[in-house]
A and B are shown apart, each in its own frame.
Chain A
Amino acid sequence: MSETEEMGEEMAIATLPLDAWHRAKGARMVEFAGYHMPIQYEGIIAEHLWTRESAGLFDVSHMGQLVLSGEGVAEALETLVPGDISALKPGRMRYSLLLAEDGGILDDLMITNSGHSLYMVVNGAVKWDDIAHLREHLPDAVDMNLLDEQALLALQGPKAVEVLTALGIRPESGDIVPVDRLVFMQAGPYLWGAVRLGISRSGYTGEDGFEISVSAEHVAALADALCANDAVRPIGLGARDSLRLEAGLPLYGHDLDPATDPVEGDLGFAISKRRREEANFPGAARILGHLADGAPRKRVGLTVEGKLPVREGARLFDGNREVGIVTSGGFAPSVGAPIAMGYVPRDHAAPGTALAAEVRGKRVPVAVAAMPFVPHRYVRKMGA
């Protein structure tokens, strides 16, 4: 027996602050983005379902945490991303895209206005390329720091808010809302005892939840405190991938790459209204053309008939004609069936379009489906 497709194996690679913590919790470690990372603890399906019903703790310290500061930093960053960064209020965050000159996607990222600077979280696998690209294109007046002494945790699931509240976390200053009053895509500085935490209400699972930046020195104590609550279990990369797939969220390097522009990637929402009017972001001519007339191909969801998983790389057919490719796919524990996402021509992108995926020479019936596959449960508004 041998794996024909694998996420990586252990090699002499970098370790993250929680490495020993993961191993003590029984994690199976694999290489991912140049680090030893936990792929699973008790099992991917159990971890996935636990996150949807309770709360899962993810270590995402491999991601790059960057701080940009200096005069005109928002305007400078806008030369590289299509979002309205200047209008981003303190304590608010936005999903955006680092674009190449031709409009191709170099990375997808989160940008937070932390009041005096911009805090960004970028993908671990391309963080060094991102840093080089940013440094090359941003003016010298913009300072950039990689927070390589900071770990990053994600606490995701319907019980995440009560778990975090029970820790006794308090706002760092009077103008910051209590952590349970944050809404989706809002962030602020908090204190856990004397430990400083940067907390945002955000994540990559489709569930309510939080992402917590904490110093490497204190991350094990925080992870222990969170897991001391019976509602919380540690969750590995395997379930992180199946959760985000069900949520319809693309994974950079698989569903998005430099050959793909934001409209093709079905991420038109990331191109802010003002930026569309000003047409002054990288690849604006191509991207605005695609927004107006439709892109030749589009990222779509796919439901799969039967039980055979359809995975990344599977070719998509309309009859005998090859029309597209699967970029992510696998068994979806909450759906209880295989699902996938991939790229098809725009005239094949309507939900319900019947196609076939080729898996080991066999044709598997699939159908274009609206995403997400599992409804998002973000907390967008606060009640009274």
Chain B
Amino acid sequence: MPRYYTEEHEWIDVDGDVATVGITDFAQGQLGDIVFVEVPDTGAELAKGGDAAVVESVKAASDVYAPVDGVVTEGNGQLEEDPALVNSDPEGEGWFFRMTLADKSQLDGLMNAAAYKQFCDGL
């Protein structure tokens, strides 16, 4: 299952026509303690680059953008009870939402793990 990364520090796991989206370990480290996550409602139509979710650390609220176009199929309900999952397991249990992939060609513009690591090293 290929994993892609955005310059806004989201990761996208692609499994057929469905993608799982979360924020990267680098992102959670920058944000610090996560105290609240607002995931999109099932059925919400997302446009690449548009607002998709909000993650709140102790100090600030940050927007999470949709990495591609699609429709939300599921939000991670566990984050409501335990937002700190984003700190402890950002690229696993701490996923944000699942969505359909409306246009697979949009994945071409995203980074793979090696390119993303290089991108973070340059920040």
Contacts and interface: CB of A to CB of B under 8 A. Distances in A.
Contact of B33 (A44, A311, A338): A44
Q: Of residues A3, A4, A242, which shows the largest number of chain B Cβ atoms within 10 Å of its Cβ? A: A3
A1 B32 contact: no
Interface residues of B, number: 24
For chain A, give the interface size range: 20 to 34
A311 B9 CA distance: 24
A234 to B, nearest CB: 15
A277 B57 CA distance: 47
Contacts of A309: 35-36, 56, 61
Contacts, number: 66
Interface string B60-90: 1111110000000000000010010000000
Given A44-B33, A45-B33, A7 B60 contact: yes
Contact of A308 (B23, B36, B57): B36
A2 B65 CA distance: 8
B58 A3 contact: no
B63 A311 contact: no
Interface string A207-245: 000000000000000000000000000000010011000
Nearest to B10: A1
Given A1-B9, A45-B58, A331 B35 contact: yes
B12 interface: no
Contact of B62 (A3, A333, A360): A3
A39 B58 CA distance: 11
Contacts of A2: 8, 62-63, 65
A4 B51 CA distance: 11
Interface of B: 8-10, 23, 27, 32-33, 35-36, 38, 54-65, 80, 83
Considering the complex of A and B, which 8 residue pairs feature the smallest CB-CB distances, nearest first?
A: A331-B35, A44-B58, A45-B33, A1-B8, A3-B62, A5-B60, A1-B9, A1-B64
